[in-house]
Structure 1
Amino acid sequence: MSEPLPPSPIELHGQAKSALRDALIWISIAAAFFLVWQLASALLLILAGFVFAAGLQGGERLLGRVWKVRRMIRLVVVVLVFIVALVGFVYFAGTQLTQEFAQLRSTLAQQGERLSRLAEEYGVSSKVAEGDPFDAIKAQLGGSLGRIASFIGGAAGALGSLVLIITFGIFVAVDPRLYERGVEWLTPQDKRASLRDTVEAMGAMLRRWVAGRVVLMVFEGMLIFIGLSLVGAPLALLLGLVAGLFAFIPNLGAIASGALIIAIGFSAGTTTGLWSIGVYLVVQVADNFINPLIEKRAVDLAPAVVLAAQLLFGVLFGILGVTLADPIVALVKVALQRRNAEMQGK
């Protein structure tokens, strides 16, 4: 009878085996973080789709309070209203900006003629050496075309992302339970009830957050429109709509809309520009009082935590990161609260 073989030299025992298991766990965690980092843009677009779906569901539930019909009919109405509003805004903004650009071009041409006549009166020739302007234009044309092409490419990418978010959100809003069941199927059976409660709590939080942002958008857009109309600024309605849309983006949206309001205000004169600055500052002061109340009621997050998350996600992921920083932090908070409640229940 042959003797038993000795232990394999590559077999791990005791502390070595435990250390290898711990190392594999940490390596798996690091790999998961690296994968999330590489897929951050796609994951943010997916999260934006969920946020849009939550907004559609919130609108459908709100409509259901006054219109007792099938859920799918209400959802179709909400989607159609959103699409009509989006197309109407794009058409209205394009028309208004085209008219304003034509007026601005005419004003600049008149001012150029006045400067030319004034220069000739003082004996300064308003004509430059022949060929110089065209040479300068040709020298800059290549770079300008490159920047235009880059801008068009960026705009096309943004439009494609918007279409993806809307499409994804509609699919989720039509049958959210389908996707919830898929996630539950990948979860151990003893954890499915807890997961279902957590997902429902997250969905309710997202609906409250979207509702709060919509209220803030309407509030800021109405104030901007009324204020600019009172001071006689051009494009008051368009600027109100733009400011309302930009209000969905925390902090950066207010800066972008403010720059646009001030620029267009000064195009109508120094006095109108100064009044436009005043309107913008008044609206921002009012917004600083209203926004914390809405955010606290919607997601109940500490302002410093929200601001830190916006800065962090803005540096890492750009505008989309700033926009989704609040719901990301709120989702993490809901998950931790549900986990804590589950642990205490045990």
Structure 2
Amino acid sequence: MAEQDYQPGPTEISDPRLRFEVQRAGIWIGMLVLVALTVVLAAPLLLIIGGMVFAVLLDGGTRLLGRWLPIARGFRLAIVILAAVAFLIWTFYYAGTQLVGQFAELRDTVMMQANRLFEWLGTSGLMPEADFSALSGQVFSSIGRVTSVLGSAIGALTAGVMIFVIGIFIAIEPKIYDRGVAWMVPIRHRSKFFEISDRVGYALRRLLAGRILGMAIEGIFTYVMLAYVGTWFGLDPVPLAAMLGLLTGLLAFIPNIGAIISGVLMVAVGFSAGTETGFWAIFVYFFVQNFDGYVIIPLIAKKTVDLAPALVLAAQLIFGTLFGFLGLLLADPIVAAIKTTLEEISARRKGEGSEGAEAPAPAD
């Protein structure tokens, strides 16, 4: 064989220090490629994450139903899925038959109140030459850019169907997907992976259960107080109480931002019916939000992941700007999963360190 066959090629690096630097550069390049792929594939990744969150919700309902209905898990899951489908059908039917007109009225009312506000600011000199049409055009165009991941109403519906289907498939047999991910983890770390995965699932189930409870309480309280409680004090019912209650309950799934949006809508509709009704709407908003913040959320936080409001808001702004409305919607569960994972890893490292510190020194 020729002597040149044993000579090093151009890709061979004999210097160990240079080889180490090349390996480090390869790791950094790989991380940059991974980040780039994550940004490019943001839409399908968020759909998968949304499906996983929905699967956790279905699994939590299945486990909860098992406390009172001792039947096979498949039957309990089928009951939960049918209940979810029935609720969605009822919501769309109710919204389609009774709330469509109210939604149009709500939009016109908010636009009218906003025009009045900007006219008052213009006449007061606080905002000279206030042009609400131009401002609203800028707002809605920015919202359109933020929600570009979903694209359109058809895209949003398609995304919802995909999340629903993915969630059902994962909820049917979640252990299969756990084992599939664990297969990519080194064997010595797989037991820890399963323990952390179980802990994250437990925390997310509690988080979503508490969130749904809060949504129901906020929606019902808002509707009852706007439609009925005000009449006890001689006030007229707030218009569009059913629509405002439904929107408040749905928007409660998005902490911080959802409460602000529902509050603006509630106050705008309240003042459209009169000054007293407007102040009553302000009272209802603050009462419901304070009851949720000082009673419901602390009770939920004791049973699940306690997330700092500033951390959640920062995550919502970042995910909403980068990934659109779906990123905003999933920011809270993603942050909760990351925090639970980091806490479990930190706790296990401390445990391993303490065990190592207590171990006796080897004999000479």
**TM-score > 0.5, shorter chain as reference:** yes
Contact kept? 2:62, 2:80, Cα under 8 Å: yes
Contact kept? 1:96, 1:235, Cα under 8 Å: no
Q: State the TM-score, normalizing by the size of structure 2.
A: 0.74
Deviations 1:119-157 (A, max 9, x none): xxxxxxxxxxxxxxxxxxxxxxxxxxxx9xx9x962111
Q: Give 1:327's aligned amino acid.
A: P
- Asked if residue 251 in structure 1 is aligned to residue 253 in structure 2, the reply is no
Q: Give 1:64's aligned amino acid.
A: G
User: Among residues 169, 172, 191, which one is paired with 1:193 in the alignment?
Assistant: 191
- Asked if residue 236 in structure 1 is aligned to residue 241 in structure 2, the reply is yes
Contact kept? 2:305, 2:340, Cα under 8 Å: no
After TM superposition, give the deviation of residue 289 of structure 1 in Å: 1.8
Contact kept? 1:46, 1:165, Cα under 8 Å: yes
Contact kept? 2:102, 2:243, Cα under 8 Å: no
Query: Take 1:69 and 1:172, find their aligned partners in 2: how far apart are those partners?
Result: 20
Counterpart in the other structure of 2:135: none
Inter-CA distance 39–2: structure 2 relative to 1 (3 Å threshold): closer
Q: Give 1:249's aligned amino acid.
A: I
After TM superposition, give the deviation of residue 49 of structure 1 in Å: 1.1
Counterpart in the other structure of 1:220: 218
Query: Take 1:252 and 1:33, find their aligned partners in 2: how far apart are those partners?
Result: 27
After TM superposition, give the deviation of residue 60 of structure 1 in Å: 1.1
Deviations 1:203-236 (A, max 9, x none): 1111011011011111211220121012312332
After TM superposition, give the deviation of residue 9 of structure 1 in Å: 6.7
Query: Take 1:19 and 1:71, find their aligned partners in 2: how far apart are those partners?
Result: 53
SS of match in other structure, 2:152: helix
The gaps in structure 2 that reach 5 residues or longer are: 110-143, 231-236, 357-364
Counterpart in the other structure of 1:12: 13
Counterpart in the other structure of 1:172: 170
SS of match in other structure, 1:221: helix
After TM superposition, give the deviation of residue 242 of structure 1 in Å: 2.1
Greater mean deviation of Cα atoms: 86-95 or 314-323: 314-323
Deviations 1:138-188 (A, max 9, x none): xxxxxxxxx9xx9x9621111111111111111111111121122222333
After TM superposition, give the deviation of residue 100 of structure 1 in Å: 4.0
Contact kept? 2:320, 2:328, Cα under 8 Å: yes
Contact kept? 2:51, 2:163, Cα under 8 Å: yes
Inter-CA distance 284–341: structure 2 relative to 1 (3 Å threshold): closer
Q: Give 2:91's aligned amino acid.
A: F
Inter-CA distance 66–305: structure 2 relative to 1 (3 Å threshold): same
Q: State the TM-score, normalizing by the size of structure 1.
A: 0.78
Contact kept? 1:250, 1:322, Cα under 8 Å: no
Counterpart in the other structure of 1:59: 61
Larger Rg computed on CA atoms: 1
After TM superposition, give the deviation of residue 238 of structure 1 in Å: 3.4
Inter-CA distance 39–185: structure 2 relative to 1 (3 Å threshold): same
